[in-house]
């Protein structure tokens, strides 16, 4: 009892002063603190993911390359969901046959032959293979039949680009947004895998392709496909450039204007202006100009613009390439001298 009283007394002894002398809470509210650490963490996660995906990609490229190289060099037997059996040209009868001992095989109605390392099917199409197992005395012990389809035809690959394009010197220039349409057909065992290589970076299975085909710059896409028994298609390739860069455009003057600190540029009265544009991609389609403040653009026709009887020149100009990429509007202004420029005496 005394112990309990002591305990209560101690509690009260410490509690009362803490109530009396504790700070009074006036306000409490919530806030968010956004420090750089949160951003650095996200950045680090992204970097790590990028490194891992690069490593994974290298592994897939290596594996895909091995797969493509081995296509047509190994015996393949594929059983379709409906039970139909497809084999390729290297389908070795000795591998598929589990008979141990002297075995004779017969393909369709052809004469019987002893099963050996060189027992292959030759003619594309359906075949019935009969295997007969004999004992040492030449007595038939077992026999079985297998119906297979020898598929020697590789898939057909049709690749097409769809988008706005311009042909220049046999090069094709596309606007960003160009789409690749792929059609792969195989009438026999069916389409197996499709592989794509972008800009010689190595073949990848189509599902693993993460680079866009419409990013700006030159592109070379190579496509291969296999069927279910590893017949490899012909390589199909497409070369084109995605052009999103506008032309560069500038004025060319027949005389150098004077730069005056207060008035800006001062041009000769005989000034003539040429507009030049340059485009590395689809090429310049047209150059346009207008007096500043006017709405309508006029097409520049490769002859000099000669402002006559003007006190100042105020010109806006731009260039458009053959895919419609427009340069930013540029502006040239100068004041025209009142007096003609004196011709220097010889």
Partner 1 sequence: MNPHLFLKNNILLILVSLFILLANSNFAVEQKSPIGFPTFAIYTNKIPVYATLSGSFTLHPEREANKAESYFKDIKQSNNIGSGTSYLSVKFEDKVFKFHELTNIKSEWNMEDSSITISGQIPLADVEIFMVLKNKKSRDGSFFVTYGAINRTNRIVDIGFRSLIDVGTEANDGIPLKVCTDSTVEKEIYSNEFKFTPFNSGYWETYESDTDSSIGIRNHLIGQGNTPPDQIAFVNWERAFATDWKYFTNKHVLTSSDSAVLLWWNPQPVKQGERREVSTEYEIKRKNDKISFDLIEPETGSGRLHLKATNNTNSPKEVSYQLDAGTNAFLSLNYDNPLTFLLDKNSSLDKIIPITLHGKGSVDLIVKEKNGKLETNHNLPVNLARENRDQSPKFWKSSKYPIIYNSDKDGLKLKGVLRAKDSGKKLGETDLISVKSIQNSFVYLGEVDLKEFSGEVLVEIFKQ
Interacting residues toward partner 1 by CB under 8 A: 23-39, 42, 45-46, 49-50, 53, 176-177, 210-212, 214-215, 328, 331
Closest CB to partner 1 among residues 30, 302: 30
Residue number with CB closer to partner 1 (50 or 158):
50
Instruction: Categorise residue 32: left if φ over 0, alpha if ψ from -120 to 50, beta otherwise.
Output: beta
Question: Of 90 and 206, which has the nearer Cβ to partner 1?
Answer: 206
Smallest distance from the beta carbon of 39 to partner 1, in angstroms? 4
CB of 170 to partner 1, least distance (A): 26
Contacts of 345 (CB under 8 A, 6+ apart): none
Residue with Cβ nearer partner 1 (35 or 170): 35
Residues in the chain: 346
CA distances, 278 to each of 29, 130, 321 (Å): 61, 73, 9
Instruction: Tell me the C-alpha distance between 207 and 225, whole Å.
Output: 13
Query: Shortest Cβ distance from residue 65 to partner 1 (Å)?
Result: 22
Candidates 165, 134, 334, 316; CA nearest to 239 is: 165
Cβ contacts of 122 within 8 Å, gap of 6 or more: 150
**For residues 100 and 200, which CB has a smaller minimum distance to partner 1 in the complex?**
200
To partner 1, the closest distance from the beta carbon of 332 in angstroms equals 10
Do residues 284 and 276 make contact, with C-beta atoms less than 8 angstroms apart?
Answer: no
Question: Closest separation between CB of residue 166 and partner 1, Å?
Answer: 19
Q: Which residues contact 247 (CB under 8 A, 6 or more apart)?
A: 277, 278, 279, 284, 319, 320, 321, 325, 327
Q: How far is the CB of 52 from partner 1 (least distance, A)?
A: 9
φ, ψ dihedrals at 63, nearest 5°: -65, -40
CA–CA distances in Å: residue 92 to residues 117, 120, 134, 175, 189 = 7, 6, 20, 51, 18
213 within 8 A of 219, measured Cβ to Cβ: yes
Smallest gap from Cβ 274 to partner 1, in A, equals 19
Nearer to partner 1 among residue 49 and residue 74 (C-beta): 49
Say how many Å lie between the first and final Cα of the chain, rounded.
129
Q: Report d(CA 277, CA 146) in Å as an integer.
A: 72
> What is the closest distance, in whole angstroms, from the C-beta atom of residue 167 to partner 1 in the complex?
22
Choice between 53 and 234, CB closer to partner 1? 53
């Amino acid at each position: 009892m005394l112990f309990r009283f002591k305990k209560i007394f101690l509690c009260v002894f410490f509690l009362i002063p803490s109530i009396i002398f504790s700070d009074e809470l006036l306000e409490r509210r919530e806030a968010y603190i956004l420090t750089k650490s949160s951003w650095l963490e996200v950045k680090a996660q992204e970097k790590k993911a990028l490194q891992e995906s690069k490593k994974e990609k290298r592994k897939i490229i290596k594996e895909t390359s091995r797969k493509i190289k081995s296509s047509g060099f190994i015996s393949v037997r594929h059983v379709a969901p409906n039970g139909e059996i497809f084999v390729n040209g290297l389908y070795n009868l000795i591998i598929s046959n589990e008979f141990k001992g002297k075995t004779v095989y017969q393909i369709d109605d052809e004469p019987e032959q002893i099963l050996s390392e060189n027992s292959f099917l030759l003619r594309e199409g359906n075949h019935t293979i009969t295997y007969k197992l004999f004992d040492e005395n030449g007595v038939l012990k077992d026999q079985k039949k297998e119906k297979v389809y020898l598929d020697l035809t590789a898939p057909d690959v049709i690749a097409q680009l769809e988008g706005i394009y311009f042909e220049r010197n046999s090069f094709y220039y596309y606007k960003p947004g160009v789409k690749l349409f792929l059609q792969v057909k195989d009438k026999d065992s069916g389409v197996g895998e499709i592989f794509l290589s972008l800009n010689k970076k190595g073949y990848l299975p189509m599902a693993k392709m993460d680079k866009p085909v419409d990013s700006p710059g030159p592109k070379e896409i190579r496509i291969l496909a296999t069927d279910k028994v590893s017949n490899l298609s012909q390589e199909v390739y497409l070369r084109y450039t995605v052009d999103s860069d506008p032309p560069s455009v500038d004025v060319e003057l027949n005389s150098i204007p004077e730069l005056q600190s207060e008035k800006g540029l001062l041009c000769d009265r005989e000034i003539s202006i040429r507009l030049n544009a340059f485009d590395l991609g689809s090429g310049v389609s047209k150059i346009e100009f207008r007096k500043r403040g006017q709405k309508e653009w006029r097409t520049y026709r490769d002859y000099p613009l000669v402002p006559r009887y003007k006190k100042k020149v105020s010109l806006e100009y731009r260039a458009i390439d053959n895919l419609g990429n427009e340069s930013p509007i540029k502006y040239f202004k100068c004041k025209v001298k009142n007096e003609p420029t004196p011709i220097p005496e010889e």
